[in-house]
Structure formats: C-alpha cells, structure tokens
Amino acid sequence: MHAKNRLPSSGHNTPSPPASPLRSPRFRHSRAGKYAGRFPFGVSNRSVAQRVAWIVLSVLLRRQGVFLFAPLLYISGMLFYIGTVSFDVVPDVIKVRRAPGSVYQSLELYAKLRHEMEADNSTSDAMSAVWKRAKIGDWRPCINKFSGVAVAGYLNATVVIPNFHFHSIWRDPSKFSDIYDEEFFVKSLENDVRVVDSVPGYLMERFDHNLTNVFNFRIKAYSPIQYYKDTVLPRLLEEKFIRISPFANRLSFDAPADVQRLRCLANYEALRFSKPLLTMGETLVSRMKERSANNAGKYISVHLRFEEDMVAFSCCVYDGGAREREDMEAARERGWKGKFTKPGRVLQPGANRVNGKCPLTPLEVGLMLRGMGFDKSTSIFLASGRIYDSERHMVPLLEMFPLLQTKEMLASAEELAPFKNYSSRMAAIDYTVCLHSEVFVTTQGGNFPHFLLGHRRYMFNGHSKTIKPDKRKLAVYFDNPKIGWKTFKRHMLSMRAHSDAKGTELKRPNDSIYSFPCPNCMCHTNKTDDSRTTSTP
C-alpha cells in the first residue's frame, strides 16, 4: 500500500485530485463548438458588433438571473443615447393648448368682421321685433296696500329711516332723503308700519345718545321669518330698541304671502327717487326719446361695468399691455389693500374669462348688439361710471353706434353739478333712463341690474325686456378667429331670443322678489273675460 501524495505532482502517473462539482451545462462545451452550429458561416464571418450582440442575447436567454440587471442595462443605454443628443434641438418654449375663450381677442375679431358687418343689409327693424314674448304679457301690478306685516309689521315695531354705510370704493356720504322721497315713503307705508326719521330722545337717553351703544343684532343672511319671531322679538321686547346691521338680504325670499306683499309695496310703490333726481332723470328720458325719433322714440340702455375698479377687481386681462397691468395693480392696492397679493393668492385671468366673470368691454357690447340685429341708426343710452381708458375703448363702440349718448352728453355740466360728486345720485339718474328704455342690456350683474330686472317686469306686464347675455358663450365666440359674420350673427340672435324667453319667468321659492315680482307683486289677467278681471295669485 502506498501512502497518498497530498501534494500536486506534474507526473502523469500521479492520481488526479477529487473531481470538482459539475459546472453548468452551458459551459461544458468549447465556445467554438457552442456557436458553430448556430451561425451557418461561423462566428468568424460576422462583425465584432454582431458577435457581441449574439453573445449578450444568448447569455440573457440562458441565464434568467441576468434579467435582474435589465433595468440597469436599459438606463445605461438611455444615458448613452442622451449623451449623444444635442440640446439645441429642444424647443425653447413648450406650447400648451389654451382653453377656448381664455384670451381677449375681441379687437382682432372686430377687425375681421367689420367689413361684413357694415355690408350686411339684411337687418330688419330689430327695435320693433326684439320682443315676441312681451306682446302676450298678461300680468299687472296688484298690491293690496293694507297688506298686514313684513319684518317691522310682523314684530309690531317702528322702523327708523336707515343710514347708508360709507363705502370705501364709492365714497358717497348721501343720506336716505338725498336719494329717496322720504315723505312719500313714510306716507305709503302708514297703514302697514310706522316709520320715523329718528329715534325718540327718551330712548336715546338709555344709550347715552350714542347709537353704537345700542345692541346690534347680526342676523344670518336669508333667515326665515320665524327666526325673527323666536329670536329677534324677545330681545326687542327686552331692549325696546335694537339695530340690525347690515340688513341687506337678512330675510328669506321664501316668506309668507303677507310679508311678501309689504315687500312689494315698499320696493315698487313706496320707494321713489327724491324730486331733484326724479326730475333730472325724467328730463334725460325725454331727451333720449327725442333723439330716437327714427325708432318711434325707442332706445336701448346699456349698463356697462368697465370702470377701473371693476376691471381691477375682476382680475381679467385685456389688451392694454404693461400700462394696463400697472394700472390694475395700483387700483387693487388702493381699493383692497393686499387682498390680491397675499401669499397663496393666484390670479387666473384666463379662467375668469372662460367662466364669464370678465366685464364686457365697450367693443364687445357693440359687437354683440350689432350681431343681434341693431344697426347704426339705433339710439343707445350708456349707463356707466368713468370708463377705464375710455379714449381707446370707446372708439369702436362709437363707430358701430354713432347715436350713443351718456348723461354727460344729454345734460349740461351745470345741470349735473348738484349730483356730480355723489355716485349713488348719479346712478339714480342712470337707473331712471334705463327703466324707461325699450331694451335694457346688463353686462356684469350687481344690485343695479338686479333691481332693474324686477322693476321693468313690474312696469311691462311681467316681461323684463332685458338682454342678459351668456358671457361664457360670448368669450368663446369673441376668441374664435375663424368665425364668420353670418355664424356670429346667428349665435347672437339666438342669445337675444333666449333673453326674450327668460323675460317672463316667474319667481321660484328662493328667487329674489326684487328680480321676480310675479306672482307676489302682480296679478294674472283672466283672458277669457273682456273686462280683464284678475285672480289673486
């Protein structure tokens, strides 16, 4: 027996060491034999790139674990590719498709449509054909002046003539008697509620003659009448005198019939402008009718809200460039002291325009009315404050409607002097002229058109005779460079017809009685009887 040699030997007769574990079958054969059958002409006949590609592919297919490295290989390849691309081919600006109607392009549209507009001879007598629903109006004012109660009457309380708040924007110190006929107001309500112009002295002694010491009831908006009985009345009986401030919209519009009737009486009968304002307003109405003789004395009134503060508050962008931007920023800071610049506040002029929140420009009003069939011979009364950048914005409107008038054009400076520095009094004059127009156009909303809408229904047999455009649709039409005059006109005539149909709407439960007087303030006529008897709503 021989002892085993534990050291390796170079001799051929020396036994081999124990065999190693079998390796993967993939490496049992020589590389030449491995690929010889796969390449018909042999590996040597292929290029280096082909050989490398085939080897990598084979390894991936035979060893599944290598797939774990596939993401790394992909990323490496992408980095290699990106490194070979010149960044000069990347565009400087990435174009984003904007929403239709988000940009003010009305000036461009006017330039495009103006020739066709002026050449259009198909316009009929729009002033006489504008209202179709109004001709079948069958409502008339019907207010029982002995109607019982509203808030004060309901509580059996005496009303003190209200004080107006001094607004930081309008800056008008006018009192109730400066705007309304106070004596007429008191007399009209005397059978329903007692009204006084001041608090009796014996009551003021309890509060050291200082109104700020009087308990102020801050009531939630649109509170039901029952709230006044259950909550306000006990405090009134205890205090004998209370304040409710602010009082605008403090009572629900869905109130009992007797409460609604007194509201109607106060709003449509008892409230009348003071004699100086009423006289001035009626004088301008007469002058407008004289200037509208070619249309049988009929004229259009437009409430245009394109004053600087209104444009600034809307946060909309027009075509004034850097100057406009600076003006608007300064106006926002003057009027609202940091409201629009606080952290997190983002202005979205495009979204505002798409949502119909941008005030119409004079140009846009002109385009709309010409599209609705009103031609150059139409007389227009423009109710407005000082138009922002009027020297530029008013030019196209005057081109389209050369017979346009304002109160400053209809009256002399001397006639307007008593009202000139009081925005509320100037608005009252505008209100009167608008009230008596054949067509009233509202462009932005607010209390002025809100009350006129109802007042005109009260005057015109239940029809408001008001054009209230859909500004969301208008934004899209004004922003369409491809639209032609005929298509644009068709859309405007449809919008006019829609306003006509909406003119006869009746009040729904939560609608304002000041915009919808039917049926609470008006009676429906029985057409089956020639005597036009009425039925109580």
530 — pLDDT class (breaks 50, 70, 90): very low
Give me the pLDDT at residue 125, please.
Answer: 79
Q: pLDDT confidence of 86, banded at 50, 70, 90?
A: low
Interhelix angle 485-502/362-371, rounded to 10 degrees, is 90
Angle between helices 362-371 and 471-478 (to 10 degrees): 90
- pTM of the predicted protein model: 0.79
- Write down the H helix ranges in 220-294: 225-227, 233-239, 257-264, 275-291
Summarize the confidence of residues 19-39 as an average pLDDT: 44
CA atoms in the 13 A half-sphere facing the CB of 492: 23
According to the model, what pLDDT value does residue 57 have?
64
The reported pLDDT for the residue numbered 525 is 78
pLDDT digits (tens, 9 = 90+) for 452-473: 999 999 999 999 999 999 999 9
What pLDDT, in 10s, does the model give residues 268-316? 999 999 999 999 999 999 999 999 999 999 999 999 999 999 999 999 9
**Predicted local distance difference test score (pLDDT) of residue 3:** 43
pLDDT value for 512: 94
Share of the chain above pLDDT 70, in %: 77
Is 285 within 8 Å of 364 (Cβ atoms)?
A: no
pLDDT of 162? 87
103-142 pLDDT per residue, tens: 999 999 999 999 999 999 876 678 888 999 887 668 999 8
Q: What tokens appear for 365 in the block?
A: 């009003």
Q: At what angle do helices 362-371 and 390-400 cross, to 10 degrees?
A: 10
Of the candidates 6, 9, 62, the residue with the CA atom closest to the CA atom of residue 34: 62
Instruction: Give yes or no for residue 92 having a pLDDT over 60.
Output: no
Structure tokens given for 515:
């915009």
pLDDT digits (tens, 9 = 90+) for 152-206: 666 788 889 988 877 666 678 999 999 999 999 999 999 888 999 999 899 899 9
Q: How confident is the model at residue 435 (pLDDT cuts 50, 70, 90)?
A: very high
**Pairwise CA distance, residues 44 & 511, whole Å:** 91
Share of the chain above pLDDT 90, in %: 63
Residue 532 has pLDDT above 70, yes or no: no
What local confidence, expressed as pLDDT, does residue 152 receive?
66
Of 49 and 523, the structure prediction assigns the larger pLDDT to: 523
